[in-house]
Amino acid sequence: MKIYEMTNEERIRLLVQTGYLTTKQAELLQSRRTISLDLANSLSENQIGSFSLPYGFATDFVVDGQDYLVPMVIEEPSVIAAASNAAKRIKNSGGFRTFPSSRVVYGQIVLENLTETDIETLEKKDSEIFECAQQAHPSLIKRGGGIVSLRFNRYDGFLEIELGIDTVDAMGANMVNSILEKTAHKISSLVSGDILCSILSNSGQGQVITAEAAIDFEQLKTKSMSGSEVAFRIVKLANFAKQSVKRAVTHNKGIMNGIDAVYLATGNDFRAQEAAAHSFAFESGQYQPFSEWRIKDGQLLGTLKMPIELGSVGGAISALPMAQLSLAIMKITNSKQLQSVVAAVGLANNLSALRALVTTGIQAGHMGLQSKSLAVSAGASGFEIEEVSKRLNQTKNYTIENAKNILMKLRGK
């Protein structure tokens, strides 16, 4: 039996039997009470309840030679299906390769009303400022992180002191902001000007990763199109995205479908990731796709390059039981490993979207998977959901009116 054909209980049992879940973790999933009142109150103001989204997993990911099941939180059924579909094609061709860069978060201390003498003083005391910042968070140094760079950047009416900070496995927002504020206090004692603000940057420039996958043509073929034809059409559409901003935006949205779903599952800040990613896409002056596709050595080669700004410890990641469960399922030991998996998911979703677009069209598979939620919206429950979904897929008329008519006939009304 295929995983998507199993019941929830059967999937959970399978994960326990294959060592991805412990019995205790399985009980957490089965309870469907994954956040306590105290935890909810600590994470949000004016809290009155919890808002649930489906929690599933993508299969067949082989990233840098290691197998992964990838938990994803999303209300769109085609995203997990698409990620798994592409991951299997890539697995059969050798898997994903990733090339993480350094993990550096940048922070900005912004000053105004400075004299030239003030600026000269700060530049002369750069080592003193660096050491002050380094000692602002001693536990970070113990974990192998700390300050890696200090720069002075002049703007019209402002001076920015930019600190690059290796946050190790934490996303590091609170950590970086604490370091900046302590350092700013030191700086204010050295000059007559004013500190305007001290805050991290979500640019993601110090956390850019590259992911690659080479796919055999045989893995791309459809019933009516050869694999090589599919590959060349994918390359053409990817090249079109480099020229059309409107297409590039949608191209990238498909990539973010998968990335955001893993961020939600692991308790990471998807808002920061969206900001970093789309800023990176505009670095050239024209909004560009995160990925490119070309033919190389008789294969379709996909390359994704973008910032992946995340952590594997700290904040909501450590507080949320479901985030910890997700990291356990993936057997994540550090943030670079998680960064690589997330980049692979983005590239997988991109491949599935492009392959669908240049062959059958996006709606064929999308609406086939969407039919179950359409059935529920029409009022179906229990066994009716599968039956209404089946008949919607037979008629190819995916409207709420048709779903309601099918349900009425099913109920003999």
Phi, psi (rounded to 5 degrees) for 205: -65, -25
- C-alpha distance from residue 186 to each of 109, 128, 238, 368 (Å): 11, 9, 50, 61
- Residue 364 confidence (pLDDT) above 90: no
Question: Confidence band (pLDDT; 50, 70, 90) for 242?
Answer: very high
**Chain segment 261-280, per-residue pLDDT in tens:** 999 999 999 999 999 999 99
pLDDT at residue 291, rounded to an integer: 98
Give yes or no: 372 in active site.
no
Give yes or no: 269 in active site.
yes
pLDDT at residue 161, rounded to an integer: 98
Neighbours of 67 (CB within 10 A): 12
Give yes or no: 366 in active site.
yes
* Dihedral Cα 279, 284, 290, 293, nearest 10 deg: 180
Using CA atoms, how far apart are residues 62 and 56, in angstroms rounded to an integer? 18
* Dihedral Cα 85, 352, 95, 332, nearest 10 deg: -80
Order of strands, sheet of 158-166, starting from the edge strand that comes earlier in the sequence: 146-155, 158-166, 104-112, 194-200
pTM of the model: 0.91
Beta partners for residue 215, in sequence order: 300
Taking residues 360-382, report their average pLDDT: 77
pLDDT at residue 24, rounded to an integer: 94
CB 287 within 8 A of CB 280: no
Instruction: Give residue 104's identity as a one-letter amino acid code.
Output: V
Q: How many residues does the chain have?
A: 413
pLDDT at residue 337, rounded to an integer: 97
pLDDT at residue 362, rounded to an integer: 67
**Chain segment 17-29, per-residue pLDDT in tens:** 999 999 999 999 9
Percent of the chain with pLDDT over 90: 80
Half-sphere exposure of 71 (CA within 13 A, CB side): 28
Active-site residue, from 91, 137, 366, 372 = 366
Beta strands in 144-246 (DSSP E): 146-155, 158-166, 194-200, 208-216
- Residue 368 confidence (pLDDT) above 80: no
- Residue 369 confidence (pLDDT) above 80: no
Half-sphere exposure of 186 (CA within 13 A, CB side): 22
DSSP designation for 412: T
Active-site residue, from 142, 185, 236, 253 = 253
pLDDT at residue 137, rounded to an integer: 93
pLDDT at residue 397, rounded to an integer: 84
Taking residues 313-318, report their average pLDDT: 91
Using CA atoms, how far apart are residues 350 and 357, in angstroms rounded to an integer? 11
Three-class SS state of 384: helix
First to last CA, the chain: 35
Gyration radius from the chain CA atoms: 25
Q: Is 373 exposed, middle or buried (0-12, 13-18, 19+ CB in 10 A)?
A: middle
**Chain segment 344-357, per-residue pLDDT in tens:** 999 999 999 999 99
Question: Confidence band (pLDDT; 50, 70, 90) for 365?
Answer: low
CB 350 within 8 A of CB 263: no
Active-site residue, from 64, 76, 181, 292 = 76
- Residue 312 confidence (pLDDT) above 80: yes
**Which residue did the predictor score with more confidence, 322 or 369?**
322
- Residue 138 confidence (pLDDT) above 70: yes
**Chain segment 194-226, per-residue pLDDT in tens:** 999 999 999 999 999 999 999 999 999 999 999
Taking residues 241-248, report their average pLDDT: 98
pLDDT at residue 229, rounded to an integer: 98
Give yes or no: 253 in active site.
yes
pLDDT at residue 279, rounded to an integer: 97
Question: Confidence band (pLDDT; 50, 70, 90) for 59?
Answer: very high
- Residue 10 confidence (pLDDT) above 80: yes
Q: Is 180 exposed, middle or buried (0-12, 13-18, 19+ CB in 10 A)?
A: buried
Phi, psi (rounded to 5 degrees) for 283: -60, -35
Using CA atoms, how far apart are residues 211 and 87, in angstroms rounded to an integer? 13
